[in-house]
Structure 1
Amino acid sequence: MAVSEVKICNLALRKLGARLIESLSDSSQEAVTCNLFYEQVRDAVLREHPWNFAAARGRLALLVDAPAFGYAFQYQLPVDCLHLRQLNTPDDEFVVEGDKVLTNRDGASAIYTRKATNPVLFDPSFIMALSSRMAAEMADDITGSSSKAREMWTLYLNAMQSARLADSTEGREDEILNDPWLEARGIYGPDSPLWRG
């Protein structure tokens, strides 16, 4: 079954031991609560880590009016930007003020976290973190239990830690450590085809 907003909400509801929903437009307390929290919680979790699936790049639109002081240029943030990660290079200084970017960089481009709304594109570890955060946010309303809310926050923090690790190592080659045991057996070391020393 394809991932959907309803499925993510049902993962959260299941963690709370609550009834599952058919649609976010249901009149049940569970659906109303999910509908209330989903978009805000999704965007909050997107902002908490530079997720690969939510990365975007683009040239920023230069605004005619320069900042009053401090910076030479002012740009418009992209409409789908949730978190500006960097400009052209990691060394470019900038400040975000409202929906504007202030910087001394001429011809600025940006790498940013976009407002990803299609659950089909979500990373599986992000889905688990998002559903845990949904459960944590909704716990009081759905269960009336503050201890359940604390339990769900712990679950969320653990899920985020795993998700961040999985996401941040994507695209990096696993390195074999220089292990004397592997070297002694010719698996790794100067005489091995795996040696990079």
Structure 2
Amino acid sequence: MALSDIALCARALVMIGAAPIVSFEDDTAEAEVAGMLYPAIRDGMLAAYPWRFAARGAWLARRESEEVLGAGEGMFVLPGDFIRLLSLETEGGAVAEFELVQGAVRCAADRAYLRYVGRMADGAFPAFFDLALITRLAAEFCVPLTESTSRAEYLFKRAEDQFRSARLADAQQSTPRAIGDFTLIGARG
């Protein structure tokens, strides 16, 4: 079941004993706290792990830079939904050295292919991520709304457990990469 941003926040609020919201525009402390914290917490959780469900890839557009670049270097514009870089490649393989600079990536390449974690539409998260996000939201909402630090500490521990479970579930969504040509394995004979 896909949950919207409001539904995720409402469930988190119920976990701490607060009234659920129906909109971020509600005239309540719960709506104000949820509206302020939700986007940053969601993006922070997406950035915290290389989630397979949020992984994307794209050839990057070259950006004309006013900055002086070295020979063969290029500046490439990051996608608007970019959250975390997973890898940067060219037709010839992985780019060894690169730097993220103000919404762009600088590297020694004519073209660049970016694998990244991207921001997803609300309601597109898998159930295991929803549960981890709800628990984390509850932990973050707890102190501003209930002023209970002991409950917040408990919820943060639960959130860490849920995050660990979500990472495990995500890791099981595809076949692990095999170690190909590794000299120590070859030396065993």
- Normalised by the size of structure 1, how large is the TM-score? 0.79
Q: Is the contact made by 2:2 and 2:126 (CA closer than 8 Å) also made in structure 1?
A: no
Pick aligned residue for 1:94 from 90, 95, 98: 98
Note the C-alpha offset of 1:22: 2.3
- List gaps (5 residues or longer) in structure 1: 174-197
Q: Secondary structure at the match of 2:168?
A: helix
Residue number in structure 1 paired with 2:80: 79
Taking a change above 3 Å as real, the CA distance of residues 91 and 102 of structure 1, as seen in their structure-2 partners, is closer
Encode CA deviations 1:40-90: one digit per residue, 9 max, x unaligned.
Answer: 111111111122222211111112336545972221111111111111245
Sort the Cα spacing of 1:165 and 1:71 in 2 relative to 1 into closer, same or farther, 3 A.
farther
Task: Tell me the equivalent position of 2:168.
Answer: 165
Deviations 1:87-130 (A, max 9, x none): 124553322122110112331110111111322x1011111111
Query: Using CA pairs below 8 Å that are at least 6 residues apart, which structure has the higher relative contact order?
Result: 2
Q: Decide which of 155, 158, 168 is 2:158's aligned counterpart.
A: 155
The aligned counterpart of 1:134 is: 137
In structure 2, how many angstroms separate the alpha carbons of the residues matched to 1:70 and 1:16? 57
When the two chains are superposed, the root-mean-square deviation of aligned CA atoms in Å is 2.0
Post-superposition shift, 1:20? 1.6
In structure 2, stretches of 5+ residues that fail to align are: 177-189
Q: Is the Cα contact below 8 Å between 2:95 and 2:107 reproduced in 1?
A: no
Q: Measure the CA separation in 1 of the matches of 2:72 and 2:132.
A: 38
Give the % identical residues.
31
Higher radius of gyration, 1 or 2? 1
Tell me how many residue pairs correspond in the alignment.
172
SS at match of 1:53: coil
